[in-house]
């Protein structure tokens, strides 16, 4: 199965499944670092060339950097250069009021050093609170980094139309926006997808499997409540609450399993295919850690959902009340139950001397 690709801009084609890095960071369960780095090569060789990470994903930029350096050493620059790194720049909430332009560029330089490359393919910008500091000045630093050759393309993450429009109006060329989008969370379909079509942007979607809740593992299982070993599961369990009662999730999983059986694929592949088929969706970010997950990851390119499949899924979605409102609004409310589990100051690490001038 050859992965589908899509252009974000002429001459820059990405794989429509992006290998996610969040699951390799802390708070998401044990990770065998050596195996995870080694297995990245299997994804690259299978045609999944795009890798997602962030400055705030502890250790992940370094892992991808070690992978690229190893491939470059063993197989040459031509193979290593197939890897497309999509990272993020997310200054800590506590720094926004006083962060300086030189601090922002230092974060970019740090990502380049961690990743052991000369240019970042895509940097996705986020500012926790747009009322604090000077977010447009922060993005302008990234534009200047583009001019210097440190960054190829710019995007955003976790913003809806209201947050993104001022940056488009200011003349920034943004190729993509990364947002949560799944059968359980369709907030991006309520205005953002239509708007991006008029703004020359496309959606890169995370959470397509809701942290694993949209897999066979949870079919037929009782409601686990909120006692989980990692924060990711708590996050998506809250999304399920917005989607409806646990019984509605079970109904959806049953429909997905039936469709998967019809096509000879897993229910998780059906869930990912549904997202890929939505308007303006360029790619789905899938958190497959190891090479043993690759065959199931590639299943999404082996079938198509037909009208009966769409109707069966739609019958469940029509009864789901939410999540409602703009993209990431629930999570942005620091006093709400979604916002209270977020970590807003993740950039303070031993190698973060670049932020010393602003108290990081």
What pLDDT is attached to residue 26? 61
The answer to whether 344 and 94 have CB atoms below 8 angstroms apart is: yes
What pLDDT is attached to residue 352? 43
- Residue 46 CA to residue 279 CA, distance in Å, equals 26
CA of residue 16 relative to chain centroid, distance: 12
User: pLDDT tens digit string along 202-227?
Assistant: 999 999 999 999 999 999 999 999 88
What pLDDT is attached to residue 59? 86
Cα atoms in the Cβ-side hemisphere of radius 13 Å centred on 325: 10
Cα atoms in the Cβ-side hemisphere of radius 13 Å centred on 199: 28
| Residue in the structure block whose two tokens are 């947002």 | 179
Cα dihedral 173/182/225/289 (nearest 10)? -80
**Residue 323, preceding bond cis, omega within 30 degrees?**
yes
**CA-to-CA separations, 183 to 35, 74, 94, 214, 277, in angstroms, rounded:** 31, 41, 34, 9, 12
What pLDDT is attached to residue 28? 54
Its pTM stands at: 0.94
Burial 40-51 (b: 16+ CB within 10 A, else e): bbebbebbbbbb
User: pLDDT tens digit string along 99-124?
Assistant: 999 999 999 999 999 999 999 999 99
Averaged pLDDT, 149-161: 98
Averaged pLDDT, 15-42: 81
| Nearest partner of 236 among 183, 275, 304, judged by Cα | 183
Averaged pLDDT, 18-34: 75
Q: What Rg value do the Cα atoms of the chain yield, rounded?
A: 20
What pLDDT is attached to residue 70? 96
Tell me the percentage of the chain whose pLDDT exceeds 90: 83
For residue 74, give every residue at least 6 positions away whose Cβ sits within 8 Å of its Cβ, in sequence order, or none: none
**CA-to-CA separations, 32 to 71, 183, 263, 350, in angstroms, rounded:** 19, 30, 33, 22
């Amino acid at each position: 199965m050859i992965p589908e690709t899509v252009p974000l801009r002429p001459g820059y084609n990405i794989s429509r499944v992006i290998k996610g890095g969040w699951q390799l960071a802390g708070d998401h369960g044990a990770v065998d670092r050596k195996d995870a780095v080694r297995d990245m090569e299997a994804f690259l060789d299978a045609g999944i060339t795009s890798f997602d990470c962030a400055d705030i994903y502890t250790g992940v930029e370094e892992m991808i950097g070690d992978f690229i350096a190893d491939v470059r050493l063993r197989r040459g620059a031509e193979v290593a250069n197939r890897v497309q790194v999509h990272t993020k720049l997310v200054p800590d909430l506590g720094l926004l009021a006083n962060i300086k332009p030189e601090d922002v560029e230092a974060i970019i330089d740090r990502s380049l050093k961690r990743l052991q490359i000369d240019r970042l393919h895509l940097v996705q910008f986020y500012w926790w609170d747009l009322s604090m500091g000077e977010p447009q000045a922060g993005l302008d630093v990234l534009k200047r980094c583009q001019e210097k050759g440190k960054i190829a393309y710019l995007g955003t993450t976790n913003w809806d139309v209201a947050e993104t429009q001022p940056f488009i109006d200011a003349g920034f060329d943004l190729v993509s926006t990364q947002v949560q989008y799944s059968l359980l969370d369709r907030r991006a379909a309520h205005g953002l997808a239509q708007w991006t079509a008029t703004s020359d942007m496309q959606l890169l979607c995370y959470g397509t499997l809701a942290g694993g809740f949209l897999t066979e593992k949870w079919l037929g299982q009782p409601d686990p409540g909120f006692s989980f070993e990692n924060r990711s599961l708590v996050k998506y369990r809250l999304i399920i609450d917005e989607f409806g009662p646990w019984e509605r999730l079970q109904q959806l999983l049953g429909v997905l399993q039936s469709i998967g059986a019809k096509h000879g694929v897993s229910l998780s592949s059906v869930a990912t295919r549904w997202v890929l088929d939505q308007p303006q969706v360029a790619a789905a970010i899938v958190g497959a850690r190891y090479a043993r997950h690759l065959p199931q990851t590639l299943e999404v390119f082996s079938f198509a959902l037909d009208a009966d499949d769409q109707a069966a899924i739609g019958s469940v979605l029509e009864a789901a009340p939410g999540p409602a409102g703009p993209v990431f609004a629930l999570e942005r409310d620091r006093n709400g139950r979604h916002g209270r589990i977020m970590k807003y100051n993740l950039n303070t690490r031993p190698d973060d001397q670049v932020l010393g001038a602003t108290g990081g």
